[in-house]
Amino acid sequence: MGVKVGVLALQGDVAEHIAAFRDALSDRPGSSVVPLRKAADLAGLDALAIPGGESTTISRLIVKNGLYEALREFEGGVFATCAGMVLTADRVDDTRVRPLGLIPMRVERNAFGRQVDSREALLEVKGLAEPFRAVFIRAPVATEVGPGVEVLARIPEGIVAARSGRHMAFAFHPELGGDLRLHRMFLQGLEV
């Protein structure tokens, strides 16, 4: 059976998410990946990717485009990266961001500092046999998670990968680099 994934297409690395999910779904006939810009686009989706970008900008655009309540009520799985991790949290260190409250966690924006402090690292991720090359770009970290949230990866600065039910959030950019193991892990979680 095919899977339909929407990618929040308001700002950020939308094209990279679309390409990564298309590749991850290439062996599932009837699957599709579509950009999402308005609440009506959520109809029929099994999953939603919230990409990296600038979290305050994406937060404002979610409200401006009438998506806030629809995203909060979305019943499918959410795959959130970087700014998406900030938006899925229920507590954020910046009052300019209106979090969606999908995952009980506290997130600190730009935990790594400025753009020049961005980096790559090999991460041990729970559920993966081999380390994952993670690209951190002005990345957030979760400093605290609530009950039922599974920590998948941690670095000295904080939690950088977490799962809560069908939702997964990453401080880094798994859509970059061609390693689709986390996308496939997420898609398998939709079937549970």
* Active-site residue, from 17, 82, 108, 183: 82
User: Residue 190 burial (CB < 10 Å; 0-12/13-18/19+)?
Assistant: middle
Tell me phi and psi for residue 156, to 5 degrees: -55, -30
Q: Are 168 and 161 in contact (CB under 8 A)?
A: yes
According to DSSP, residue 157 is labeled T
> Has 16 been annotated as catalytic?
no
Catalytic entry in 108, 167, 175, 183:
175
User: How many whole angstroms separate alpha carbon 30 and alpha carbon 16?
Assistant: 21
139 — phi, psi (to 5°)?
-80, 150
* 167 flagged as catalytic: no
**Is 82 tagged catalytic?**
yes
Contact 12, 51 (CB under 8 A): yes
- The amino acid at 11: Q
* Inter-CA distances, 23 with 45, 60, 152, 173, Å: 18, 30, 23, 16
Question: 47: which strand partners?
Answer: 5, 77
**Residues labelled as active-site residues:** 82, 173, 175
